[in-house]
Amino acid sequence: MGLLQRALLSFALLGSLAAQERLSAAVINFTSPTLDKAIYENRPAEGGYGGTYGTASIFSSPDTDGARRLAYMLLGFSTAGSIQTGRGASNYLVTSVRLTLYAAVDMQFRYDPTYDSYRSHLPSTDPNSIVDDPGRSIEVYGVGLRNGYTSLGTTGGTSVYKENSPIVTSGAMNAYPLSYDANGTPFDVTNNVAQGRESNPFGIGQSSLTAGAFVPQGTEFRFDLDLSNPNVLAYIQAALNGGMLGLNVSGLVSAESQTATDYASFFTKDNELGAEFVPRLEVTYTIVPEPQSAALAFAACGLLAARRGSRKRGNRS
């Protein structure tokens, strides 16, 4: 087979591959997380607290104490069984990611569909303080790990963070809500108010309620991740490439005391009311051809052009 024939065959095979890749566009629904865990910083001694708990609370210390995020919901969705892994993060064209949760408490916290700046949590005497709308937003972030933990999972060695893994090690949260600053640098949002920085959530919980209304039990909250943010998109792409998508649901919903009943709470997969209220995830994606495949296609076109040019020069001589 000559050089031209080989180039044409390669180009045809690459075209076929690209067509097959385009057909792989899909909407995948994960009807339950692989793991979910209620995280509460003040219960470090209980280790796996919340790993099989039916609800996960969302609250912070009062604004007067610095509005530190104390309780949040850790979620891990294993995508490997439904979405092919290892294709290279940049080859996952993700067009939407939606997390759905259901309120576990009744008429206890107000619905707020808009982001609340850290400035709205500052004391009124602070010149940077602002007054925000009623309620506090429920937000979703990525998952950051520390203290020797490098991945989420249900099995594996001591580097895998599981539902029964300890909440705190050496005074620091092992799994924390992760976001990115304007420079794309990841940071822990747990104490963003004291740090004087916006938390830049991946998404804000939305429902059919009127803003400011108290939330009935069972209310559906939808979190559409902001994929127009390149940092969020890169986080999701890396997660799909690796096969596990970790998310943290958090919010600066103030709990005025240990016995306060004004915080938010959502059902976990271990809830007693059934599958209807289990957290779920929907991912719309396409796997695009490997970058080297596109390069080979261009190379094939170049060989074809060179072959044609050689023929023309031969005809003129």
DSSP string, 53-87: -SEEEEEE--GGGT--EEEEEEEEEE-TTTS---S
pLDDT at 261: 61
pLDDT at 155: 94
pLDDT at 133: 82
Each residue's pLDDT tens digit, 127-142 = 999 998 888 999 999 9
Distance CA 69, CA 167 (A): 14
Tell me, what amino acid is at 13? L
- What does the longest C-alpha to C-alpha distance in the chain come to? 95
pLDDT at 16: 45
Contacts of 12 (CB under 8 A, 6+ apart): none
pLDDT at 316: 53
Contact predicate 250/69, CB 8 Å: yes
Region at 215 (left for phi over 0; alpha for psi -120 to 50; beta for the rest) = beta
pLDDT at 171: 85
pLDDT at 17: 46
Question: Considering only CA atoms, which of 77, 71, 47 is closest in space to residue 59?
Answer: 71
Distance CA 256, CA 258 (A): 7
Contact predicate 244/35, CB 8 Å: no
pLDDT at 62: 79
DSSP label at 213? P
The ranges of the chain with pLDDT < 70 are 1-24, 44-50, 63-66, 256-261, 290-317
Each residue's pLDDT tens digit, 168-227 = 988 899 999 999 999 999 999 999 999 999 999 999 999 999 999 999 999 999 999 999
Main-chain phi, psi angles of 128, to 5 degrees: -90, -5
Contact predicate 101/279, CB 8 Å: yes
Contact predicate 44/168, CB 8 Å: yes
**Does residue 292 sit in helix, strand or coil?**
helix
pLDDT at 123: 86
pLDDT at 303: 46
pLDDT at 2: 57
pLDDT at 254: 82
pLDDT at 42: 75
pLDDT at 29: 98
